[in-house]
């Protein structure tokens, strides 16, 4: 994802890359971030967080929860806005992001895709219109290297359906079935996760009723759409920063569809 972000940022005339971060053990430290793309930028990969964010308007972060919190904390100290696409954040991590949002403008979305953002709206509308007579199941598949399950996007989709139906995903979510589970409990929202190959990300929300089934699906063919969405979010929080605004936003705010 980092490479996709770099490649997309380097192709956008209104985006100026000022820093790039990687872990302290990375073999890329000290190398030009544009080297892979045949584009010398003069920006070297670094593990020095305060220095990397100091000259920026916005930090874009797609890492791991512990890295994200360290990066956003540095942004809060430096007055730099942030775009966070990291998945697997705990409830406490999300509270920490909300606290940082009191100091800076942040866009947090486990999926930066414009298409997925629209899908979230459609899932809520479908759940409202179809009502309690339809069972909700969410199926997702990702590449073999993904470390969290269900995906952050699957959880967002489940939450969109749950809220539209007046349910609580914490109580009504079913995150695995094995053995003799008995009949499906009415009102639950089921999740199934598959991992394999180089699948970027497939998500389907199934509304199964008596005699019919409605399916809403998004398939990502590359990471470019996530990178483009992240840059769209970066422009949004850069404008908020210029206006002196703070807060925690998501992609629905970015697209103006909340």
Give all strands (DSSP E) within 143-245, no chain letters. Answer: 173-174, 189-195, 201-209, 212-220
CA distance 101 to 29: 30
Homologous superfamily of domain range 2-112+223-255: NAD(P)-binding Rossmann-like Domain (3.40.50.720)
Q: Could you state, in order of their start, the residue ranges of all structural domains in the chain?
A: 2-112+223-255, 114-220
Q: Which of 142, 203, 240, 246 is catalytic?
A: 142
In contact, 21 and 45? CB cutoff 8 Å: yes
Element (H, E) at 83: strand 81-84
Q: What is the pTM of this model?
A: 0.80
pLDDT score of 257: 86
Fold of 114-220: Dihydrodipicolinate Reductase; domain 2 (3.30.360)
pLDDT score of 1: 87
pLDDT score of 45: 94
CA distance 83 to 236: 10
Look up 218 and say whether it is catalytic. Answer: no
Tell me the two tokens of residue 184. Answer: 């499906």
Q: Which of 39, 94, 146, 163 is catalytic?
A: 146
Unique residue bearing structure tokens 């009723």: 209
Q: What is the pLDDT along the chain (258 residues), one digit of tens a residue?
A: 888 999 999 999 999 999 999 999 999 999 999 998 888 899 999 999 999 999 899 999 999 999 999 999 999 999 999 999 998 899 999 999 999 999 999 999 988 999 999 999 999 999 999 999 999 999 999 999 999 999 989 999 999 999 999 999 999 999 989 999 999 999 999 999 999 999 999 999 999 999 999 999 999 998 899 999 999 999 999 999 999 999 999 999 999 987
Look up 142 and say whether it is catalytic. Answer: yes
Q: Pick from 201, 79, 74: which is nearest to 145 by CA?
A: 201
3-class SS of residue 44: strand
CA distance 104 to 95: 14
Tell me the two tokens of residue 217. Answer: 């699906």
Supply the DSSP symbol for 111.
-
Element (H, E) at 129: helix 114-130
pLDDT score of 173: 98
In contact, 168 and 116? CB cutoff 8 Å: no
pLDDT score of 223: 87
pLDDT score of 87: 86
CA atoms lying within 13 Å on the CB side of residue 247: 11
CA distance 126 to 128: 5
């Amino acid at each position: 994802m980092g490479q996709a972000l770099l490649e997309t940022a380097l192709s956008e005339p209104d985006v100026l890359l000022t820093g790039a971060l990687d872990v302290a053990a990375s073999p890329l430290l000290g190398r030009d971030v544009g080297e892979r793309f045949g584009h010398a930028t003069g920006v070297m990969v670094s593990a020095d967080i305060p220095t990397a964010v100091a000259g920026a308007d916005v930090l874009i972060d797609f890492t791991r929860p512990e890295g994200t919190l360290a990066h956003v904390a540095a942004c809060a100290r430096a007055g730099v806005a942030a775009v966070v696409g990291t998945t697997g954040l705990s409830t406490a991590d999300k509270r920490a992001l909300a606290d940082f949002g009191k100091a800076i403008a942040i866009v947090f979305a486990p999926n930066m895709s414009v298409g997925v953002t629209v899908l979230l709206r459609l899932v809520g509308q479908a759940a409202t219109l179809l009502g309690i007579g339809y069972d909700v199941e969410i199926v997702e598949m990702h590449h073999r290297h993904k470390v969290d399950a269900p995906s952050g996007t699957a959880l967002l989709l489940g939450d969109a359906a749950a809220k539209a139906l007046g349910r609580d995903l914490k109580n009504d979510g079913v995150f695995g079935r094995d053995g003799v589970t008995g009949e499906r409990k009415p009102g639950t929202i089921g999740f199934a996760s598959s991992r394999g190959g180089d699948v970027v990300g497939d998500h389907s929300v199934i509304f199964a009723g008596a005699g019919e089934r409605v399916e809403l699906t998004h398939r990502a063919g590359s990471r470019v759409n996530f990178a483009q969405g992240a840059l769209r979010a970066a422009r949004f929080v850069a404008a908020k920063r210029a206006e002196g605004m703070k807060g925690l936003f998501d992609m629905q705010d970015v697209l103006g569809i909340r």
